[in-house]
């Protein structure tokens, strides 16, 4: 009964939004989504057998905030993604606390991906600025924290996003200041050194694989 009453707010909200003036439809949509999300979330909190409803309730609340942010002219991706990413990370940390043997890739990767990737896409498509700086620092902190805790997810995602960001920032300078023959010669030298020290590199790679497998 509670679930039906909560979900009934959705069609009522759609009808109310359609009847509202065009200039106010987005505002009313945010209101109805908030009411529906709050109702579903409250049911999940009051009924232990309805805990799974917390996810659709949270999604409705997030959708309400997105509609409202767009309505007031907010176009920065972090305003839309970071609150939901923070919730996912907190849920993942709780899962790791309850299940000591759980993988951090399963528990933390969704939240970290939502927090990092949209900002990375924006940083790759715009001139270097504060977003790239903050994102780079966040990636560095994730890698350092992951190494200290022995967690795979922050190391993998922080290193991957950070490397892509560095390549994007360095590409214009490398392409305009370094002659092509220097790049080709440098690549050849790297291959030559790698071939001459192949056995040692192979041993180091095995140690690295063993270290990664030992991470949580």
The answer on 170 and 112 residing in a single domain is yes
Chain centre to alpha carbon of residue 43: 28
- What are the structure tokens assigned to 161, written together? 């996003």
Span 143-191, pLDDT tens digits: 999 888 888 889 889 988 998 888 888 776 665 566 665 656 666 676 6
Does a structural domain hold residue 115?
yes
The DSSP code for 126 is S
* In a domain? residue 81: no
Give the chain's domain count. Answer: 3
Of 5, 31, 38, 6, the residue nearest 17 (C-alpha) = 31
Based on the domain organization, do 160 and 98 belong to the same domain? yes
Residue 168 is classified by DSSP as H
State pTM to two decimals: 0.70
Residue 94, in any domain of the structure: yes
| CA 97 – CA 103 distance, rounded (Å) | 11
Domain enclosing residue 10, as ranges? 1-75
Task: Give pLDDT tens digits for 66-107.
Answer: 888 888 888 888 998 999 899 999 999 998 888 888 888 888
Q: Of the candidates 75, 95, 124, which is a domain's last residue?
A: 75
Same domain, 171 and 93: yes
Gap between the terminal Cα atoms of the chain: 42
Domain boundary among 45, 75, 105: 75
Report how far residue 89's alpha carbon sits from residue 19's, in angstroms, rounded to the nearest whole number. Answer: 38
* pLDDT (0 to 100) of residue 1: 45
Same domain flag for 167 and 195:
no
- The answer to whether 171 and 130 have CB atoms below 8 angstroms apart is no
Same domain, 130 and 190: no
Q: Is 39 exposed, middle or buried (0-12, 13-18, 19+ CB in 10 A)?
A: buried
Which one of 75, 101, 130 terminates a domain? 75
- 3 state DSSP class of 98: helix
21 and 3 share one domain: yes
Statement to judge: residues 25 and 104 lie in one domain: no
Report yes or no on 51 lying in a domain: yes
Tell me if residue 129 falls in helix, strand or coil. Answer: coil
């Amino acid at each position: 009964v509670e679930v039906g009453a909560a979900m009934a707010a959705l069609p009522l909200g759609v009808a109310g939004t359609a009847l509202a003036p065009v200039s106010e439809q987005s505002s009313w949509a945010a209101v109805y989504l908030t009411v529906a999300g709050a109702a579903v979330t409250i049911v999940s909190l009051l009924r232990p057998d309805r805990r799974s409803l917390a996810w659709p309730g949270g999604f409705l609340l997030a959708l309400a905030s997105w509609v409202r942010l767009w309505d007031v002219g907010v176009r920065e991706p972090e305003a839309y993604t970071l609150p939901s990413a923070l919730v996912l990370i907190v849920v993942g940390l709780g899962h790791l606390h309850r299940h000591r043997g759980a993988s951090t890739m399963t528990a933390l990767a969704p939240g970290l991906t939502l927090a990092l990737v949209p900002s990375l896409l924006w940083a790759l498509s715009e001139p270097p600025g504060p977003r790239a700086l903050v994102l780079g620092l966040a990636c560095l902190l994730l890698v350092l924290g992951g190494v200290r805790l022995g967690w795979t997810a922050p190391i993998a995602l922080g290193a991957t996003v950070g490397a892509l960001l560095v390549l994007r920032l360095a590409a214009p300078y490398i392409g305009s200041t370094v002659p092509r023959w220097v790049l080709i010669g440098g690549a050849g030298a790297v291959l030559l050194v790698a071939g001459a020290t192949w056995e040692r590199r192979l041993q180091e790679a095995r140690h690295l694989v063993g270290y990664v497998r030992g991470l949580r």
